[in-house]
Amino acid sequence: MATCKLRDGNVATDCDRKQEIAAAGRYREAVSNGILVYQQIRALIESGVLQSTPGISPAQIQPSSLDLRLATRGYRVRSGFLPESVRVSDRLESMTLYTFDLTDGAVLEKGHCYIIPLLERIEKPLPCPARANPKSSTGRLDLFTRLLVDRCGRFETVPQGYTGPMFLEIVPRSFPVRVRTGLSLCQIRFAEGKSELSDEELRAEYLRAPLLFDDHGRPIPIEQARIDRGLCMGVALKNDRDISDPIGFTARRFTSIVDTALENAHDADAFFEPILEPRDGRMIVEPEEFYIFASKERVRVPRHLAAEMAAYDVGIGELRTNYAGFFDNGFGGDKGTRAVLEVRPHDVPFLLEDGQVFFKLAFFRTLQDPEVVYGDKRLSSHYQGQSLKLSKHFRQ
């Protein structure tokens, strides 16, 4: 019987591998728990659970998430808050400094806190809990956003059974931005039961088909992959086949306004300073500066799964490694795509090394295979096949 060595030195047989692959088949059959996908989100809208004026556009529906849009009026507030026992609108009465109209656009100043109602609302009791996350372009602009709903003591959470409005807290961290009614800065996912894959299930999925690829597009063997409460990935600080200086960017401190309605319209050099490859593959990132890097590996999200990026471990230091975390079904295609990392160190300077484990992806089963996947021509998928890429607003 053939054998192979695993990372911990134990021996796995072909029989072991067959058992793990069989386990992968079993968890795929357990469809009572999972994230709702494209056609199921559409059904929620058609049944009147989610409503909006104007109506929700088909373009807002992603393979396993829904884009939410800013409404017509914003509130500049003294500070952020959690409406644990009150309605958001009641708290706004005491926290608002001034209101403003977004119909023709409004500028959000760097470092200030804003609350903006969303066009979408939950009209009928939500049949399952939902979680929100900033969109990719939002994170790459260093826009800190968090979803709020009435009488909920957690950000980014809509509890099961909720009915009512939704609001978005927004704090521009690096640049002043112009926003307007109808802009999507965040997205929401709906999940039945426990949908996250265990490490055992994730290993079985990797054995069915690799999830990570190197810079030549070659699959990374499972023996070289690190799975520890998710799929661990590293940061790229060296040039390779599709990253050729810069290897990263850092935000400039004093800039003009980013107009979020304009794509491929802003000069990247006016907002970001390029970072060249360090000679020894190491560099120090400074506290409270904003950086953009790419992952060392390329990742593939299978059609029947969704993923979410999370900070690797608070034990590595006070370092935020992502703002936008949802990866929809089909991200990366067949050969994988790099993840882009939005990095903000806190408290102390931090040394990064090429390939250092820097974040991880949690994978989630979905209730069905979505009718469309990330990269489909029917969707607006800006970052399929990306290497190191700024948000869609910049010429690069």
Number of H helices and E strands in the chain, helices first, is 5, 30
pLDDT per residue as tens digits for the range 146-158: 999 999 999 999 9
- The chain-wide mean pLDDT, for the chain, equals 88
Burial class (CB in 10 A: 0-12, 13-18, 19+), 315: exposed
* pLDDT class of 377 with cuts at 50, 70, 90: low
Say whether pLDDT at 256 is over 80: yes
Determine the average pLDDT of the residues in 59-72: 96
pLDDT at 240: 86
If you ran DSSP here, which 8-state letter would residue 29 be given? H
pLDDT per residue as tens digits for the range 285-322: 999 999 999 999 999 999 999 999 986 555 555 555 55
pLDDT per residue as tens digits for the range 262-276: 999 999 999 999 999
Determine the average pLDDT of the residues in 222-251: 92
How far is it, in rounded angstroms, from Cα 286 to Cα 340? 19
What six digits make up the tokens of 281? 């593959």
* pLDDT class of 384 with cuts at 50, 70, 90: low
pTM, entire model: 0.88
Find, among 47, 98, 43, the residue nearest to 66 by Cα. Answer: 43
pLDDT at 4: 38
Determine the average pLDDT of the residues in 210-224: 94
Say whether pLDDT at 5 is over 70: no
Fold classification of 199-395 is: Deoxyuridine 5'-Triphosphate Nucleotidohydrolase; Chain A (2.70.40)
CATH 2.70.40.10, the chain: domain bounds:
48-192, 199-395
Class of domain 48-192: mainly beta
Residue type, 201: E
Question: Which residue's structure tokens are 């997205």?
Answer: 187
Say whether pLDDT at 379 is over 80: no
Find, among 370, 356, 290, the residue nearest to 323 by Cα. Answer: 290
pLDDT per residue as tens digits for the range 338-374: 999 999 888 889 899 999 988 899 999 999 999 999 8
Q: How far does CA 215 lie from the centroid of its chain?
A: 22
- How far, CA to CA in Å, does 97 sit from each of 43, 74, 106, 113? 39, 11, 16, 10
Cis before residue 349, ω within 30 degrees of 0?
Answer: no
Say whether pLDDT at 126 is over 60: yes
What six digits make up the tokens of 343? 């990095």
Instruction: Mean pLDDT check: name the lowest of 62-66, 188-192, 327-331, 381-385.
Output: 381-385
Instruction: Mean pLDDT check: name the lowest of 85-89, 228-232, 271-275.
Output: 228-232
Which stretches within the chain are classed as H helix? 14-29, 38-46, 88-95, 136-140, 199-208
